[in-house]
Amino acid sequence: MEIEKVTTGIPGLDVMLKGGFEKQSIVLLSGDPGAGKTTIGLQYLFNGATKHGQPGVYISFEEPMDMLYKHAAHYGWDLKKLEQDKKFRIVDARSLKAETLFHADVGMTFDTIKSIGAKRVVIDSLTAYSLLFENAYKQRLALRELFESLRRLGCTTLMINEYSKHYSAHPLIDFLADELIMVYNRRIKNNRIRGVEIIKARGVDHVDKPAPLVFGKNGVEVFPENPLFDQF
């Protein structure tokens, strides 16, 4: 059976993913600060809303709304227009309570997703969300529930994970996610190198060599034909 794909709208990344994310899957995008995770998230939603008739919701634990609007405007993405057209919403999750945020009955997040019939969701970041729980057990239960709810809603979800050598989100996440993508922002000698690598894509073919990632005028671009430096 042909697997249905959801294009990311990021040139090169869709090539690496052989068309895009698997429809209704949960993708973990993990990587260094400044690697391009937020930009990729916004680009994914903008592309879905403008080119594929798929409304999107951005759940932000990191940046306030006006920063996200500015971030997007830099690449020519008019998020406010998309909001007017009911194709996009931002949930400012910074001041909301962990217990109710994704609650099926009282949580505003799922109401927002349903209100515009969102097909694409970005959570930025899972790291920040996980920190709201007082212990690993509660964190684990909440994450499992969140994953199940998102699958039930039929959304294709991009979960952003702030990665550093010293800290990553709960290790369970790597197992729960259907696809795992790493982005890098490293200094090698006098150069700052950005790259992307697909670590796993459940049961589907993908390019597994890391490729350079570049910030262009219209967003992020990936170049799967160009090898990253040997250090990767």
Ligand X SMILES: Nc1ncnc2c1ncn2[C@@H]1O[C@H](COP(=O)(O)OP(=O)(O)O)[C@@H](O)[C@H]1O
Which residues would be at the binding site for Mg ion (CB under 5 A)? 37-38
Residue 50: CB minimum distance to ligand X, A: 19
Residue 59 pairs with which residues in a beta bridge? Answer: 91, 123
CB of 228 to ligand X, least distance (A): 17
Q: Which two tokens stand for residue 231?
A: 């250090």
Nearer to Mg ion, 37 or 119 (CB): 37
Task: Mention every residue, 6+ apart, whose C-beta is less than 8 A from residue 186.
Answer: 32, 192, 193, 231
With CB under 5 to 8 Å by kind, the binding choice for 35 among ligand X, Mg ion, none is: ligand X
Q: Which is nearer to ligand X, 135 or 190 (CB)?
A: 190
Residues 6+ apart with CB under 8 A from 140: 170, 172
Measured distance CA(206)–CA(10) in Å, rounded = 15
Q: Which range binds ligand X by CB under 6 A, 35-43, 46-54, 86-94, 112-120?
A: 35-43
Q: Is 60 in the site for ligand X (CB under 6 A)?
A: no
Residue with tokens 């930009």: 39
Residue 128 partner contact from Mg ion, ligand X, none using kind-dependent CB cut-offs of 5 to 8 Å? none
User: 33 contacts which partner out of ligand X, Mg ion, none, CB within 5 to 8 A by kind?
Assistant: ligand X
Q: Determine contact, residues 173/28, Cβ cutoff 8 Å.
A: yes
Instruction: Give me the residue whose beta carbon is nearest to Mg ion.
Output: 38
- Cis amide prior to 125 (ω within 30 degrees): yes
Site for ligand X in 123-182 (CB under 6 A): none
Place of tokens 């219209």: 218
- Least distance from C-beta 229 to ligand X, angstroms? 18
Contact range with ligand X by CB under 6 A, out of 29-37, 85-93, 98-106, 139-147: 29-37
Write the burial class of residue 192 (CB in 10 Å: 0-12 exposed, 13-18 middle, 19+ buried): exposed
**CA–CA separation, 225 and 11 (whole Å):** 12
Q: Treating both helix axes as pointing N-terminal to C-terminal, what angle do 108-115 and 136-153 enclose, rounded to 10 degrees?
A: 20
Using the rule CB under 6 A, give the single segment among 32-40, 114-122, 149-157, 205-213 that binds ligand X.
32-40
Site string for ligand X, 197-226 (x = CB under 6 A): ------------------x-----------
Q: Which residues bind ligand X (CB under 6 A)?
A: 33-39, 215
